[in-house]
Amino acid sequence: MKTFLLAGLVAMLVLLVLPMGVSAGNNTAVTVSGTINLYIEVGVSPNSTQFFTMSAFNTSTNNTAVVTTNTSSTSWNVRASDARTGVSKGFMNKTPFWNLTNPFQLSKDGVGYSPLTADYSNFMVNATTAGSFTQTVYQKQAIGVADRQGIYNIIVTFIGIAT
């Protein structure tokens, strides 16, 4: 009797558990998805440049910086900007906030210069190709007769935008 009861209990458990483990009916599919985000990486080398001779009535120029861009986007641009605001934006200055008379200027070709008093929105731009690109940065600063002696600087930030 004990054997019969035990065999019946095992058979009942098998009948209860079997449908949960094996299914001959509908299957459910799992969809796995992912997103590859656009990226843009901007670097500047060297990260510091210097005008060696700055004197009144002269224009100092330099073209040693190179901007490198790596991107997965086929539509992107790099903006050059001076983060300062107000009357100091776009001017080389020294402490305590003494600006040079003329604005600091950038160019992509050494010919057409743009003052950095407003962002240089399309310093580098491409609407068709992803990859790696480089651009020489031409810098120019005109010195006026009223400019005081001293050490002046400006921090130019290059910002990449991928769309």
Q: Between residues 120 and 23, which one has the greater pLDDT?
A: 120
CB 97 within 8 A of CB 88: yes
Q: Between residues 132 and 21, which one has the greater pLDDT?
A: 132
Where in the chain are the domains? Answer: 40-162
Q: What is the helix (H) or strand (E) element at residue 63, kind and residue range?
A: strand 59-71
Residue 80: CB atoms within 10 A of its CB come to 21
Distances in Å between the Cα of 56 and the Cα atoms of 50, 102, 111, 144, 148 are 17, 11, 22, 5, 9
13-27, 81-95, 112-126, 137-151: least confident range = 13-27
Q: How far apart are CA 28 and CA 21, in angstroms?
A: 14
- Which pLDDT does position 9 carry in this prediction? 47
CB 154 within 8 A of CB 82: yes
pLDDT at 107 over 80: yes
Q: Between residues 115 and 149, which one has the greater pLDDT?
A: 115
User: Which fold would CATH assign to domain 40-162?
Assistant: Immunoglobulin-like (2.60.40)
Q: What is the pLDDT of residues 27-55, one digit of tens each?
A: 788 888 888 788 888 988 888 888 877 88
Among candidate residues 158, 148, 156, the one with its CA nearest the CA of residue 97: 148
Identity of the amino acid at 77: N
